[in-house]
Amino acid sequence: MGKFRESVIQPILDCWSLIVGLKITGKYFCKPLVTVHYPRQVIDDENLETYGGHVELIGKPKDPATPKCISCMMCVTNCPSKCLTVVKSKPPKPTEAEEAAMKAAEEAGEKVVKPKAPKNPAKFIYDYTLCSLCGTCIDNCPAKSLKFSNNVYWVATSRKEMKIDLLARLKEQATELSAPAPKTEAAPAAAEKEA
């Protein structure tokens, strides 16, 4: 019985993982292709939504150029790659009239309320060369101000371009969304009318 188990049953048990793998391969072999032959074909919007590129900021619904970020530093603290740099905004300096009013209030024994810093970050720098795309910053953001980019066609030709100023990128995206689309069909129609 020992030799039968050793020479017949054990090889069948050893091939079980191969059989499971071939079953999965066979299942996907019968499905249609997902691969796109770029430049002859472009990626459809359905597949773009599932792509996770570099991290980017999300703008406020009413003002897309202003980030939802509240400078809580949770993304920086939890990032294992240390690829995010957030600089908080400083409180505005009071004018001479406000300083005089605060001194007068202090002398009168009143509680003086100093101006607070805005919650928006002053700088938000992302180093894509260090990022492992783990998504920890996105998961730990209490304001839900970070997401993965859906831009499949983003290209950088140097390491300097991989350090991305996310605030400038957000403002650039907001101006692209607010700018009217160019009318390409109107120009040929006008040329036909003149001729």
Q: Over the stretch 46-86, which tens digit does the pLDDT of each residue have?
A: 777 788 889 999 999 999 999 999 999 999 999 999 999 99
- Rounded Cα–Cα distance for residues 42 and 54 (Å): 20
The edge-to-edge listing of strands for the beta sheet with 84-88 is: 84-88, 121-127, 163-165
| Percentage above 90 pLDDT, the chain | 42
Q: What is the pLDDT of residues 103-140, one digit of tens each?
A: 888 888 888 778 888 888 999 999 999 999 999 999 99
CATH of domain 48-89+117-178: 3.30.70.3270
CA distances from 47 to 132, 146, 151, 152 (A): 21, 20, 11, 10
Whether residue 3 is predicted with pLDDT greater than 60 in this model: the reply is: yes
Q: What is the pTM of this model?
A: 0.65
